[in-house]
Structure 1
């Protein structure tokens, strides 16, 4: 199955998304193109990487992922293809791929000049044709040569000691739930049994498994399906009510 996912910061009010899809479908009308999101904040690599990281492994191995976020400008150093965990990524070389996993890509290719024409719309003119052809059976090696290193962005990692973990909100979803970068793996490794989660003026001293365990309007914390600490209010907007936004600090104190 020729499957391509597509994520961008184009929005849905202009011609950009349909133009990119049309370019791919003109090459292979049988392509199955899945939209991940086109509502990424303009140029926001971290938001795009979060959505892509949270979803790409759920697609079949061999899926091609077209990444069209901040495709022009000084941050972008050419265009690349990468094979990571049996998935293929076609993207600008702007650091976004470094935010998807701790491991290095198994294959990394810089697209050759013959495939990288001057364009004010590289998602359509450069990335879309390569993505469509790779999804149709071509190899990423067909479009360029090996690349030793790709541009890397600095991930936001929590700080941890035996006394505390300090992390940040990395996403407030449409329900107002605040997703942090504190993983269950790290928490389980350090937790002595008693703890206090501090979010602004709110204090929580227990974890729940989900919304069904708390009353309407209750604030609570749980580890979500991604294994990340999430702060929510049942049928409420934790982001607005607790003043949480991207980069808000969340600290877990461990009590002896």
Structure 2
């Protein structure tokens, strides 16, 4: 029973870590299909990992197994978990990295993975991606039922992503959640938070940039001009056509974003 297995980690691609995980999976199930979502999650950054998997998982076929390893607590008492959420499965540390998946799905079952006979032995205290998460995903892809891996738990960890807040007067305040590879500033503002920017006058201040235009595509922007756009993930982004908004605005992850209307 072959299923897709995806990998999302903060391991990068310069070390052996990802290759070792894939080797473990293929040793257990040579018929598996293993695909990388990203290995460029910011190191130790649970919110970045949560954003990455939440933006990608729903585009995969039902019953896909998503291995998500952003795990600064590896080797501690934090639990490994197997989660069924909607029509997808997730194998990850219980540290909140699946929080945005939990927000999007109504049907969630989480299990504490305790059946160590499925692990690669001996289990390293520093590499559960290889010795715990990868083999569990591989055995699942061969048809082992979730109940075989451990008991259900309902106290799995989750955190709330930063939300937009009302400021003084006609203001909405948010933050930059992420800077993507192109230098675009991905904010936590959704269109519903800032409805006044559609057809009305507005200013968005982030870093040292002031944005007054909402465009429908990147190419509409003048060279070097910072503008707002609704990104593919549904968030308001600040971008520069063929340039870096992060550099232009001298802003980064965590920078405050202030929207003023009128």
Instruction: Output the TM-score relative to the length of structure 1.
Output: 0.91
RMSD: 2.2
Bigger Cα displacement from structure 2, 129-138 vs 111-120:
111-120
Q: 8 Å contact 1:194–1:205 — kept in the other structure? A: yes
Question: Within 1, Cα distance between the matches of 2:84 and 2:211?
Answer: 41
CA displacement at 1:226 relative to structure 2: 1.3
Deviations 1:196-251 (A, max 9, x none): 21123322233110112222222211111111110111111111121111101111
1:137 CA displacement: 2.1
Residue of structure 2 aligned with 1:210, choices 208, 217, 223: 217
Pair 1:101–1:180, CA change in 2 (3 A): farther
**2:173 matched to 1:166?**
yes
Q: Mean Cα displacement is larger for which, 131-140 or 167-176? A: 131-140
**SS in structure 2 of the partner of residue 96 of structure 1:** coil
Number of positions where the alignment pairs a residue of Structure 1 with one of Structure 2:
255
Distance between the aligned counterparts of 2:106 and 2:78, measured in 1? 18
Matched, 1:119 2:124: yes
SS of residue matched to 1:131: helix
Counterpart CA distance in 1 for 2:111 and 2:131 is: 18
SS of equivalent residue, structure 2 residue 95: coil
Stretches (4+) displaced over 3 A: 71-76, 113-118, 189-194
What is the TM-score normalised by the length of structure 2?
A: 0.89
Determine the C-alpha separation between the residues in 1 that align with 2:196 and 2:82. 36
**TM-superposition CA deviations, 1:142-177 (whole Å, max 9, x none):** 101110110122421121367221111111111111
Partner of 1:100: 101
1:193 matched to which residue of 2?
Answer: 200
For the pair 1:223 / 2:224, whether they are aligned, the reply is no
Residue equivalent to 2:152: 146
CA–CA distance in 1 between the matches of 2:56 and 2:77?
A: 24
Match of 1:178 among 179, 182, 185: 185
Q: CA deviation at 1:75?
A: 7.1
1:33 is aligned to 34
Write out aligned runs for 1:60-139 (5 A).
60-70=61-71, 72-73=73-74, 77-102=78-103, 103=105, 105-115=107-117, 118-120=123-125, 121-139=127-145
Q: In the TM superposition, what is the alpha-carbon distance from 1:2 to its structure 2 partner?
A: 1.5
Distance 2:85 2:196 in 1: 27
Change (3 A) 1:190 1:197: closer
Distance between the aligned counterparts of 2:197 and 2:211, measured in 1?
17
